[in-house]
Chains A and B, each alone.
Chain A
Amino acid sequence: MESSQRRTRYVLKRLFQAIPIVFAIVVLNFFLLQLAEGDAVDVLAGEAGAATPEYMAELREKFGLDKPLVVQLGVYLKNVVMLDLGYSFRHDMPVSELIFDRFFPTLLLMTSTILLAVGFGIVLGLVAASGLNTWRDTVISIFALITYATPLFWVGLMLIVVFSLNLGWFPTSGMENFAMFYEGWDRVLDIAHHLVLPTITLSLFYLALYTRLMRASMLEQAGQDYVTTARAKGVTERRIVFVHVLRNALLPVVTMAGVQVGALIGGSVIVESVFAWPGLGMLAFEALFARDLNLLLGIFLLSAILVVAVNLIVDIIYSTLDPRIEMA
């Protein structure tokens, strides 16, 4: 009881600490984006073919882009506090609506990727370590080495060529088949079907990483004194591996996975482009070229919040796995 109370207090404290962090990220991003040449008006004018300077100035005034930077920042921050992320002139929609639409697909892709990479990474690492220097170990290590060294986009394209075009097992792109108007479980199945290839593509690299990490971690833990103690108690090898060693060996993998969730959002840009997955990565990519700064800032803000949230979750998982870590 005491521990659950302490945990709640810890979570609240961490959430409270996250506020200044997110605020700083917003400010930093704002100035970072100002460093890029050109603004939305340049792009609009460019696409229209021609525009008079007067018309461009008028547009800037309308978008509030003529005001000094600090004022723009102030206005933006005020809006963010009121949960208003601004308006995307490019898409002619409020940024929050736009992001919210795209958030679910990205979250889905990320979650399935992490589960696949961490889950299979742990299993493969465990299998490799427990059959050290046998054919299983060799096969897994070679697999890890190859996937580790292969670029993401290439894997994505090859998977499409083999499994979608040649074998026809999986759809080539998109998140669901709109033309069929699936509902209920049919729709879930359809989305899952579309999810397979992008998830595999995105997770392969991380899978290789966690496999290697888990293998090394298992081997390290297997040499520890407490393993000898367990053996001296007459505990079976099975239990030594699955109860004593496994839990200790998981710790570095969890740490690493936590750190990499942020990187995953970056990696998803490529995969989302290759598979035309309607997620945040794609949106960010388009927004960048359209100089749609409001939209970009919104995406960055959401990503920042996501990373902060995931870090908190990882810390909580970590403290349940390792009682030595105190939540204070």
Chain B
Amino acid sequence: MTRLLDIKDLHVGLPAGGQRKYAVEAANLHLNDNEILCVVGESGSGKSLTARAIMGLLPKPHVHIAKGSVTFQGEDLAAASEARLRDIRGSEISMIFQEPMTALNPVMTIGNQIDEVFRFHEKMPAQERRSRALKLLQDVQLPDPEQALGAYPHQLSGGQRQRAMIAMALALDPKILIADEPTTALDVTTQAQVLRLIKQMQESHGTGVVFITHDFGVVADIADRVAVMQNGLVVETGTTDEVLRRPTHPYTQALMAAVPSLIPRPPRPRAEERVLRVNALTKTYRSGGGLLGGKARVVHAAKQVTLDLTRGETLGIVGESGSGKSTVARCIVRLTDAEAGEILLGDTDLRPLGRAAMRPHRAKIQMVFQDPFASLNPRAKVGRIIAQGPEMYGASSAEARDKALELLKIVGLDDRAYDRFPHEFSGGQRQRIGIARALALEPQILVADEPVSALDVSIQAQILTLLDEIRDRMNLSMIFITHDLRVAAQVCDRIAVMQRGEVVEIGPTAELFANPQHSYTTELLAAVPGKGWFASETKPLTEAS
């Protein structure tokens, strides 16, 4: 075993006047060959900047290495010249990123982008460069490597793009691969494939990998050693087994505790009263075509979707991107018009109602959105955002104000939040505001579209607890859209699994997890990262996987 990388006392300085002086402080890390080191942390922990500091890719001049050394094969990269760093980048150390769509140049073919790596590091004829690029694309198991060479990034799927990125990074067989959240933007099943690919490539090439992630499941699946970061400090390092099974630092322990368990919680009795019945809901998106011909593209976002929801129940809708789960939610809230089917709220069919006829029913179904940054009007004070709804439905401004203050208390925010603007709050706090806003109209049904997927694990756990409390306290029914089966296991009484616009399976959470009927459900369950690692979880899943 040789030591590839040695990071000693690394300080990454931030511009003066910021919250912290250092984004990364006194970090000591090392990496051996043929090893995967996972750097785990929540947003703002400094994990990404650590990765960039290794390659000299910090956003200069504001962010820079203030102190410390990054020794790569006896050479201090923190002191290396820009020209020397350029030689090393792409050939000795290379990097893959979170979002392959933006990380690839949209107007250059994959072939050209891989070609650049060869051209800038080694002299070889164009013919050879091409054949090596082709070989790389075969190695990363792209379905049609020949075609992928000439394809632009937008012509590939998300998983294929990330494969192409990996091919590009491994072009010159680097000693170190730095992977910055490479699977975060991918669907679970694709994530599992890409993780397997990274592991395979790493093993066959003996590469050392620095893998940045926020997901302990991924860590469990891929890491040899783990470093946990919090607020710029490395708080704990050790082998995967040590850190995951016997964490010593309280922060690591808290993070581990916040990872939702895959074991569904005990079932609750189901009420008789059906508050919502969705029958054969259908929504199709069309694009292209038109008067002068051309082929129209038709996407069946919802095909004959049938669901029902009883009082006090949480129904999860689970699926990957493009499965139509958000479309169903938006149809139910009537933000999108479905073409066919029924949305029965009590005995009224909401689907055919016009604007005016829908108005009295609007308050009864409210929605919580995914992105707490984009879903609150940045120019309206929090109090306004919450109080506006009740006022529209005839409450006096004093009543609306009281209501808003009460709701702020319920969601765990201070009274003073009333007169502040959304940007003054963190992501988790904003999601609380979003929930308060939805609750202000005293809905019977809350539709939550991925309400925690933009949040860090520890915050995620808090919001999930809050949603649970509120549901019980107000006797709400909830439709909970998520792509994360761990979250679903902890929140939902029943789960509907969607694939390509169809509900392929629906049933009580525990049954669905223990005994999935549809092959797609099995596939999804098998792809959940880190399953089998968290000891207590293994039992109910052994039969399933």
Identify the A interface with B (CB < 8 A). Answer: 13, 16-17, 224-226, 228-236, 239, 243-244, 247-248, 321-324, 328
> How many Å lie between the Cα of A230 and that of B168 in the bound state?
11
Contact among B87, B106, B121 for A322, CB-based, below 8 A: B106
Query: Which chain B residues (103-138) contact chain A, with CB distance < 8 Å?
Result: 103-108, 116-117, 120-121
Does B97 sit within 8 A of A, measured CB to CB?
yes
- B116 pairs with A233, CB closer than 8 A: yes
Asked whether, in the complex, the Cβ of A324 is within 8 Å of the Cβ of B103, the reply is: no
B120 in contact with A248 (CB, 8 Å):
no
Q: Give the segment of B88-96, B245-253, B331-339, B372-380 that binds chain A.
A: B88-96
B136, chain A: closest CB distance, angstroms:
13
Q: Within 8 Å CB of A322, what residues of B?
A: 106-107
* A306 CA / B357 CA spacing, docked (Å): 50
In the bound complex, residues from chain B placing their C-beta under 8 Å from that of A239 are 116, 120
Instruction: Given A225-B102, A226-B103, A244-B108, check contact A232 B154 (CB 8 Å).
Output: no
Partner of A228, one of B57, B88, B288: B57
- Asked whether, in the complex, the Cβ of B154 is within 8 Å of the Cβ of A324, the reply is yes
Judge whether B86 is part of the interface by a CB distance below 8 angstroms.
yes
* Inter-subunit contact A13/B117 (CB<8 Å): no
Assembly CA distance A17 to B290 (angstroms): 12
Q: Given contacts A234-B89, A236-B86, is CB(A248)–CB(B117) below 8 Å?
A: no
B179: min CB distance to chain A, Å? 12
Question: Is chain B's interface secondary structure helix, strand, loop, or mixed overall?
Answer: mixed
Of the A-B pairs whose beta carbons lie under 8 Å apart in the complex, a sample of 29, sorted by A's number, is A17-B292, A225-B97, A225-B99, A225-B103, A226-B103, A226-B105, A229-B103, A229-B105, A230-B105, A232-B89, A232-B90, A232-B95, A233-B90, A234-B87, A234-B89, A234-B91, A234-B120, A235-B86, A235-B120, A239-B120, A243-B108, A248-B105, A248-B107, A321-B107, A323-B107, A323-B154, A324-B106, A324-B107, A328-B294
**Using a CB-CB cutoff of 8 Å, which residues 65-109 of chain B contact chain A?**
86-91, 94-95, 97, 99, 102-108
B294 x A234 contact (CB < 8 A):
no
Q: Which residue of B lies closest to A233 (CB)?
A: B90
From B107, B116, B288, name the one whose CB has the most chain A CB atoms within 10 angstroms. B107
In whole angstroms, how far apart are the Cα atoms of A190 and B269 in the complex? 94
Known: A231-B89, A234-B121; 17 extra A-B contacts, CB below 8 A, are A225-B103, A226-B104, A226-B105, A226-B106, A228-B97, A229-B165, A230-B116, A233-B116, A234-B88, A234-B90, A234-B91, A234-B117, A235-B90, A239-B116, A247-B107, A323-B152, A324-B154
Which B-chain residue is minimally distant from A243 (CB atoms)? B108
Nearest to B55 among chain A residues (CB) is A232
Residues of A within 8 A of B95 (CB): 229, 232
User: How far is B120's CA from A235's CA once the two chains are assembled, in angstroms?
Assistant: 6
A276 to B214 Cα, complex, angstroms: 69
Please classify the interface of chain A as helix (H, G, I), strand (E, B), loop, or mixed, using the class held by over half of its residues: helix
Inter-subunit contact B97/A229 (CB<8 Å): yes
| Chain A nearest Cβ from B209, distance in angstroms | 15
Q: Which residue of B lies closest to A232 (CB)?
A: B95
- Chain B residue contacts of A247, Cβ below 8 A: 107-108
Nearest CB on B from A227, distance (A): 8
Cβ contacts under 8 Å, A244 to chain B: 105, 108
Specify the chain A residue showing the minimal Cβ separation from B151. Answer: A323
Within the assembled complex, what's the spacing in Å between the Cα atoms of A243 and B112?
11
Chain B contacts with A in 470-501, Cβ cutoff 8 A = none
**6 residue pairs, one from A and one from B, having the closest CB atoms:** A234-B90, A234-B89, A233-B90, A225-B102, A232-B95, A226-B105
What chain A residues lie within 8 Å of B55 (beta carbons)? 232
| Chain A residues in 8 Å Cβ range of B105 | 226, 229-230, 244, 248
A229 to B100, CA, bound (A): 10
Q: Are A235 and B292 in contact (CB under 8 A)?
A: no
Residues of chain B with a CB closer than 8 A to A224's CB:
102
Give complex CA distance A229, B294 in Å. Answer: 37
B104–A248 touching, CB < 8 Å: no
Q: Is the CB of A234 within 8 A of B103?
A: no
A243 proximity list for chain B (CB < 8 A): 108
Flag if B102 contacts A248 (CB, 8 Å): no
Instruction: Output the least CB separation between B39 and chain A (Å).
Output: 17
Question: In the bound complex, how far is the Cα of B166 from the Cα of A232, in angstroms?
Answer: 13
Pick from A13, A230, A231, A328: contact of B288, CB below 8 A. A328
Q: Which residues of A contact B168 (CB under 8 A)?
A: 233
Query: Could you say which residues of chain B place their CB within 8 Å of the CB of A16?
Result: 292
Chain A's closest residue to B104 (CB) is A226
Distance of A13 Cα from B120 Cα, bound (Å): 43
CB–CB B107/A232 < 8 A? no
How many whole Å from A249's CB to the nearest CB in chain B? 10
Cα A74 to Cα B105 in complex, Å, equals 54
Please indicate the chain B residues that have their CB under 8 angstroms from the CB of A323 in the complex. 106-107, 152, 154
Once the chains bind, are B57 and A232 in contact (CB under 8 Å)? yes
Bits for B281-323, please: 1 = Cβ < 8 Å to A, else 0. Answer: 0000000100010100000000000000000000000000000
- A101 to B499: give the CA distance in the assembly, Å: 65
Establish whether residues B94 and A233, one from each chain, have CB atoms under 8 Å apart when the complex forms: yes
Which of A230, A232, A236 gathers the greatest number of chain B CB atoms within 10 Å? A232
Q: Quick one: given A16-B292, A236-B120, A323-B154, are A231 and B57 in contact (CB under 8 Å)?
A: yes
Q: CA A275 – CA B192 in complex, angstroms? A: 70
Please give the distance in Å from B459's CB to the nearest CB on chain A.
25
Q: What residues of A have a CB within 8 angstroms of the CB of B107 in the complex? A: 247-248, 321-324
- B182 → A minimal CB distance (Å): 12
Which A residues lie within 8 Å of B294 (CB)? 328
User: Which A residues lie within 8 Å of B288 (CB)?
Assistant: 328
Question: In the complex, A141 Cα to B371 Cα: how many Å?
Answer: 37
Residue from A17, A244, A323, A324 having most chain B Cβ neighbours under 10 A: A323
